[in-house]
Each structure stands twice: as C-alpha cells, then as structure tokens.
Amino acid sequence: MKIAISGKGGVGKTMLASLLSVVLAESGYSVLAIDADPNINLAAAFGLPNSDEIIPISRMDDLIEERTGARPGQMAPYFKLNPKVDDLPEKCSLQYDGIKIMVMGPVKAAGTGCYCPEGALLQALVSHLLLEANQVVILDMEAGIEHLTRGTAKGVDKLIIVVEPSMRSVSTGRRVRDLALEIGLQSIGVVANKIRSEREKDFLTAKMADFEFLGFIPYDEAMVEADLAGLPLVNSSARVMAEVRSIAARLDKLK
Ligand SMILES: Nc1ncnc2c1ncn2[C@@H]1O[C@H](COP(=O)(O)OP(=O)(O)O)[C@@H](O)[C@H]1O
Ligand SMILES: [Mg+2]
C-alpha cells in the first residue's frame, strides 16, 4: 500500500505522516516514510537527533548521476527515466523503531515541465518500488501534489488530504483533489485536524460534504508544546494517537 498525504502548509501533514507510520508499524507493517516536502521536517517529527543536518537525496549528486545519468541542475537531454531504486530504502534511510525514513528534499515540480533527474528518482521511488504484502509507503508531500504525475499516481493507492477548520485549507483540499482526479487517483480520503469544537467539525463536514472523511483529530496543546520544545510529535498526545489509530483502521475501507 502506498499512501500520499497532501494539504495546505501547516495543516498537519507531517504530524499525520509520522503518527500514521508509528501506528501502522505497531500493527505489523514494515513502513517506509518518505519526506517529499522541500521544507524537510519529517525526521524531526519522529524526534530523530540532528535532523536538521540530514543531507536529502535530491542533493546527493553522485547518487543521482549514478542512477539517472545526469546531475541535478544539469539539463541533460537524456537521462534514464526508470532509474534503479529498489536498494535505496535500505541504503539511504534513517531508522526510527524499525520505520525507515527517507528524505527526498527539494525536487522541482514535475508539472512545470522540468524533467529534472532528482524528480525522476522520486517518481521512480513512488511508482516502481516493489512492495511486499506487509509493506507500506507513506509520502509526506508539500502543499500541492505537483510531484504526482500520471506516472507517479499509478503507484499511489490512497491519497489523504489533511484539512484544518479554515476556508483556505478547504480550498487547497479541493484543488488537490481536482489534481488527483485529473491524474487518475481515485481513492481519496480527508482527515480533519486541529478540531477544537463540534462547530469546527460541522464546518468542515458541511463545506466538504462531497468528500469521504477518515477521521477528526482534536487540537491538542500538547502537540504545540512538543513542537515548541523541539520534542517529537509522535506519542506527545494520547488523544491524537488514538484518533490516528482509528484513521488507520478506516484506511482499509477507503474505496
Ligand atoms: N492536532 C494538533 N493539535 C495541535 N497542534 C497541532 C496538531 N497537529 C499539528 N499541530 C501543529 O501544527 C504545526 C504544523 O504541523 P505540521 O505537521 O508540520 O504541518 P504540515 O506538515 O502540514 O506543514 C506543528 O507545529 C504541529 O505541532
Ligand atoms: Mg510538513
């Protein structure tokens, strides 16, 4: 199963990616979490030390050249579009409790017509990684889903759009869904995050009545505290962890 997570900046994509990874790992899955957001912070959400010193794969020029035939920034007329990636999760990942974390780093958007080598490598990772039955890939994406192209979408099974109670996050959520449908991704669920009241929950269910909701994560000050103190988001709030567990259970039922 490959799950992509998208939504407006700050809504809680990285929070959900890290907590969902932990929950799925607890239930026996072998999890590969990929940070594909240019603002690298997934490793920090797990509380990995020195996460700000991680060299993202998109900056590993030698590796990218070895796999694609071109260096980042080089507009080579030809590079391999199907680079070998199967060994990368083993070679280029950090570990948290058995969860593999890969940091892609900034990659130019595929939609801009730039077929850069680092983009080709990310695309190959998403679409060509062969998974065994008990393996899950979780993609922490940036606000848009520009990285997802028709080719990548084939590899993604489910898209989770994260929203918070704000009109802007709803608009972004709609835009993300339109893009996703355009490239043929149909299994799409919404996770509402930072919910403080029934009113906020009702706001989202009314504004997004045509979406399938996977769950409603409460706003918990403990998450903000963790963030301010530079502590991991994982396990900082029992209430939030509990809701992520039920979201994980509902994922299987998503069409
Ligand atoms: N349920 C929640 N309650 C309170 N704060 C939250 C919650 N979820 C996320 N946050 C906080 O919101 C901020 C943004 O979350 P993050 O996961 O980094 O968003 P994104 O990856 O979408 O940009 C972080 O400071 C995080 O601690
Ligand atoms: Mg993020």
The per-residue pLDDT for range 78-101, each reduced to its tens digit, is 777 788 898 999 999 999 999 999
Q: Is 220 touching ligand 1 by the criterion CB < 6 Å?
A: yes
pLDDT, residue 121, reads 84
pLDDT tier for residue 53 given thresholds of 50, 70 and 90: confident
Q: What is the helix (H) or strand (E) element at residue 184, kind and residue range?
A: none
- Tell me the pLDDT of the chain averaged across its residues: 89
Q: Which tens digits make up the pLDDT trace of 54-84? A: 889 988 999 999 998 888 877 666 777 788 8
125: left (phi over 0), alpha (psi -120 to 50) or beta: alpha
So what's the pLDDT on residue 232? 92
Does residue 8's CB lie within 6 angstroms of at least one atom of ligand 1?
Answer: no
From the CA of 8, give the closest atom in ligand 1. 22
Assess whether pLDDT exceeds 80 at residue 109: no
Distance 11 CA to ligand 1 centre (A): 6
pLDDT of residue 13: 96
Query: Percent of the chain beyond pLDDT 70?
Result: 91
User: What is the per-residue pLDDT for 115?
Assistant: 64
DSSP letter string over 24-83? HHHTT-EEEEEE--SS--HHHHTT-TTGGG---GGG-HHHHHHHHSS-TT---S---SS-
Residue nearest to atom 6 of ligand 1 (CA): 223
Q: Tell me the HSE value of 41 on the side-chain side, using a 13 A CA sphere.
A: 17
Please state whether the predicted TM-score (pTM) of the whole model is above 0.75.
Answer: yes
- Pocket perturbation via mutation, ligand 1, pick of 217, 223, 247 by most ligand atoms within 8 A of CB: 223
Say what the pLDDT of residue 63 is: 94
Q: Is residue 148 scored above 70 in pLDDT?
A: no
Residue 18 CA: nearest ligand 1 atom is 17
What does the pLDDT read at residue 142? 76
CB 217 near ligand 1, within 6 Å: yes
Confidence of residue 152 (pLDDT cuts 50, 70, 90): low
